[in-house]
Structure 1
């Protein structure tokens, strides 16, 4: 591999398999959480920074679908200075690749002082966050050298899906489509492997940005989580100005930015809202946008020239294969512009200051 980022993108089928190892049979195996009394939990907070914050937004979405408990996802840099009503009936979940992120660590310490129950999701054994949290669940991404996170993010998504299913089980909630979710979770390594084969197509799409300095990402529901991460990845390593929007919010201002040749990356993997997303996409095409659509099977528009389809997968897991494509898009956009993919300017792998 020419870069660590390419290597780490390619490792994702293996590290997702490792993260799932011994976690799934006919239900989620997570003995670390078996003693958690969900009946005593009155609020859940998801706290993280950057890419890990996007993973936490994903967990928040699943939690809101399955649990009747109020759930809030907050960047750690805001949480530590905000007046959030945390007490002994709060469950606070902290996500950090390194386990040393300064803001996340400070927020964890503050929650511990208020006697909240704390869970860490981390990739580094014996990190500061893992030592302080009541319980730590580890992703198995292995060392991640490139500054822009790839395999750490997708293993976070994978483990968080398992955690939210476990919390639903502990809360005695019946999850619709539970068996299909477990089946598709087990099949994730193969699904991700198939997406790695789409690299040539994403490399071709990346050339659309060669003379551009702006890109816009749009999606609805869980696709919005994916476009936030896709835009961040593009900004981090290619220095292209990239914004992510809810597709339904375009008419409320952002569509003014669309002009002839503007690159729009759209996601429509959530079939229940896909037709509305397609309608939003066609509005941008009418104004001259050059659109790349990442879609679920069965979603189609004759007006969109550039389309790429993810495998048939439960919609709650669709962000994983979609993310692989967005990582490849960012990688090749950066290479087109001659950027240092592994060590982008002004960034550090672990943010250990405020």
Structure 2
């Protein structure tokens, strides 16, 4: 029997959502990165164009929304001021509004026509970690739900659902690598800057790891789409600049390998996230001439659209250890609030 995705909160509106002209995901901060991580699989399975909007920017632009648009409002707390204002804006324009929150009875869950509860449990630290991975998961599940009548997508859907069940054990294995990550944090603790590169499903990983590093350890860090390397960022690379590259094994691995080569040629200090068993990369950096030119973290390979869920975990741990080593409070970074209820 094929596993099925059950999302009771979406059931009554699933057909309307699928008939939309556009699916628009509206969020801020880490929640926006979760939307970015899941965007490709939503496009692929539903075949409906997907737009991403930072809530504050949607409002600043007074962007056009229509009655045949479906807007998803993603917020851990369900109280984020900008996202809530964008929701009111979308309702006035007649769009179907769907909530994705981690808080039952929150403003966004009350004000939307339907929605999905993320069910990650209460998140106490200001920086979002488990809510992020669960938000990606929920958006992938929404894509699976919306495409359940598609015959052509059947094989792909089954692969994703099979791998969903394998995720918990893989995540436990990542958590066991904490020693490696702690050592890496020691090497990076005195740095002033960090660049992170990713593309495809892992562009979001690069952005999110950079956000975690900056919001917790107060180190300047920037997530960059690897395809943009030659359009400016390459100028920053020298033997002093730490560069994290998310290069796990997917359809874009060859392109990421080319990015690694370009960074090596400029003597960049590399930190690589690669798939276990990716012998080409592992052997290259264990060989005589390149030994020690990169710090390597390995993770299991899972279905491409679920890989970002695994890939962020080592960097959440890295941010944690960097913050402790630098002497700051991991749970309550300065100037920030858990729930951003003011504009």
Q: Give the TM-score taking structure 2 as reference length.
A: 0.92
2:294 to 305, 323, 331: 305
Map 1:87-126 to 2 at 5 A: 87-126=66-105
**1:165: which partner in 2?**
144
2:227 to 243, 248, 257: 248
Cα deviation, residue 116, structure 1: 1.2
Cα deviation, residue 308, structure 1: 1.9
Range moving further from structure 2, 136-145 or 36-45:
36-45
How many Å separate the matches in 2 of 1:227 and 1:39?
A: 30
Q: SS of 2:61's equivalent?
A: coil
CA contact 1:108–1:118 (8 Å) conserved in 2: yes
CA contact 1:222–1:270 (8 Å) conserved in 2: no
Q: SS of 2:251's equivalent?
A: helix
Unaligned residue ranges in structure 1 (runs of 5+): 1-23
How many Å separate the matches in 2 of 1:265 and 1:100?
A: 33
1:327 to 305, 316, 323: 316
Q: SS of 1:80's equivalent?
A: helix
Cα deviation, residue 285, structure 1: 2.1
2:169 to 185, 190, 196: 190
How many Å separate the matches in 2 of 1:166 and 1:39?
A: 10
Cα deviation, residue 195, structure 1: 1.0
**1:26: which partner in 2?**
3
Pairwise CA RMSD: 1.8
Cα deviation, residue 175, structure 1: 4.8
Cα deviation, residue 248, structure 1: 2.1
2:253 to 253, 262, 274: 274
How many Å separate the matches in 1 of 2:269 and 2:18?
A: 50
How many Å separate the matches in 2 of 1:215 and 1:130?
A: 37
Map 1:1-354 to 2 at 5 A: 26-35=3-12, 36-37=14-15, 38=17, 40-169=19-148, 174-299=153-278, 300-301=280-281, 302-303=284-285, 305-354=294-343
How many Å separate the matches in 1 of 2:235 and 2:294?
A: 22
Q: SS of 1:29's equivalent?
A: coil
How many pairs align? 331
Range moving further from structure 2, 271-280 or 233-242:
271-280
Label 1:280 to 1:124 Cα distance change in 2 as closer, same or farther (>3 A): same
Label 1:50 to 1:196 Cα distance change in 2 as closer, same or farther (>3 A): same
How many Å separate the matches in 2 of 1:43 and 1:84?
A: 13
Unaligned residue ranges in structure 2 (runs of 5+): 286-292
How many Å separate the matches in 2 of 1:170 and 1:117?
A: 21
How many Å separate the matches in 1 of 2:9 and 2:152?
A: 19
Label 1:25 to 1:128 Cα distance change in 2 as closer, same or farther (>3 A): farther
Q: SS of 2:48's equivalent?
A: coil
Q: Give the TM-score taking structure 1 as reference length.
A: 0.89
Cα deviation, residue 293, structure 1: 0.8
**1:14: which partner in 2?**
none
Q: SS of 2:98's equivalent?
A: strand
